[in-house]
């Protein structure tokens, strides 16, 4: 009888192993600090990319607002936006260091043993499938779970900041000085709200048991998504805007006066808006925003 390599592997005793600390992705910096720095790099690289598009008006037909609205409707200067974004990034870096300061090192060397154990626990799966789950599947599930966790935190914190006038006027109204969002204004917040946002991301990281490598993907993707949601463009070729209903057009509605009490979800999914009835039901988006708000103002005056 011919036995496959998988049969031989599974019929043998569990492989022995020797643990060793995982080598960092880059030899000159630990994965922990790389994950903290990479989020900042991604934020500014993607923001500069969209700023170049804005400056040279490279994609005018995909703009959700005409260029003149940026200066006429926004109530904050570019300098103030950059200052507060840098402050938020300082806050998130400090919290990131605190959350991971006492985490044990990430060890490797036990992979074959763990796959052997897992294969015997899941005998109905082939060895290649078990190996795929071990190396990629479980990590993907944990990261997606972290997406849901951070969305839950963001929805209820965000909605609370809109529900109570004191909280809105004192803290969250600062972010809404950007009626016409642009990419590098994505993290323009009051420092207290910056602290809440950073705590929510850190809580998702801890609750879902992400490793440092997994957190690197989670935080980097979250940053990329947040910037894209504030880019000011409805791009039919942007994979983030295609895959996620919670995209730049969806979040832009929340920045307009007519939609400010809706579309609280961010940054990934919209299930909380759907479940709790806070999804915007109208059709006023993008270039119609200024006209819609003018119409709303006229109706109130009448």
- Return mean pLDDT, the chain: 92
The model carries a pTM of 0.91
Residues 32-86: tens digit of each pLDDT = 999 999 999 999 999 999 999 999 999 999 999 999 998 899 999 999 999 999 9
**Which residues are CB-contacts of 34 (< 8 A; sequence separation ≥ 6)?**
24, 25, 26, 216
Helix (H, G, I), strand (E, B) or coil at 67: coil
Residues 143-181: tens digit of each pLDDT = 999 999 999 999 999 999 999 999 999 999 999 999 999
Res 4: pLDDT: 79
Residue 290 has pLDDT above 70, yes or no: no
Q: Is 196 exposed, middle or buried (0-12, 13-18, 19+ CB in 10 A)?
A: buried
Res 301: pLDDT: 39
pLDDT band of 300, cuts 50, 70, 90: very low
CB-CB contact of 183 with 47 (8 Å) = yes
Residues 207-256: tens digit of each pLDDT = 999 999 999 999 999 999 999 999 999 999 999 999 999 999 999 999 99
The predicted model gives 293-298 an average pLDDT of: 47
Percent of the residues in the chain that have a pLDDT greater than 70, as a whole number: 93
What secondary structure does DSSP assign to 166-201, as a single string?
HHHHHTGGGGGG-SS--GGGTT---HHHHHHHHHHH
CA proximity to 212, closest of 76, 4, 25: 25
């Amino acid at each position: 009888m011919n036995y496959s390599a998988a049969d031989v592997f599974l019929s043998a005793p569990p492989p022995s192993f020797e643990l060793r600390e995982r080598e960092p992705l880059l030899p000159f910096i630990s994965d922990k600090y790389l994950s903290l720095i990479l989020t900042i790099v991604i934020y500014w690289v993607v923001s500069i990319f969209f700023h170049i598009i804005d400056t040279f008006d490279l994609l005018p037909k995909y703009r959700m607002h005409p260029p003149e609205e940026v200066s006429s409707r926004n109530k904050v200067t570019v300098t103030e936006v950059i200052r507060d974004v840098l402050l938020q990034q300082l806050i998130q870096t400090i919290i990131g260091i605190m959350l991971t300061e006492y985490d044990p090192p990430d060890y490797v060397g036990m992979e074959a043993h763990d796959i052997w154990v897992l294969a015997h626990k899941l005998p109905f799966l082939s060895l290649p499938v078990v190996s795929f789950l071990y190396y990629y599947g479980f990590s993907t599930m944990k990261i997606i779970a972290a997406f849901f966790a951070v969305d839950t935190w963001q929805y209820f914190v965000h909605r609370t900041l809109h529900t109570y006038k004191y909280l809105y006027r004192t803290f969250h109204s600062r972010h809404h000085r950007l009626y016409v969002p642009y990419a590098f204004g994505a993290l323009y917040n009051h420092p207290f709200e910056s602290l809440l946002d950073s705590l929510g991301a850190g809580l998702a990281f801890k609750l879902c048991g992400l490793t440092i490598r997994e957190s690197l993907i989670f935080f980097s993707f979250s940053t990329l998504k947040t910037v894209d949601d504030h880019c000011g463009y409805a791009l039919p070729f942007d994979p983030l805007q295609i895959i996620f209903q919670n995209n730049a057009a969806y979040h832009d509605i929340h920045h307009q006066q007519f939609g400010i009490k809706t579309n609280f979800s961010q940054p990934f999914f919209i299930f909380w808006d759907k479940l709790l009835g806070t999804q915007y039901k109208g059709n006023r988006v993008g270039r119609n925003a200024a006209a819609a708000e003018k119409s709303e103002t006229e109706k109130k005056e009448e």
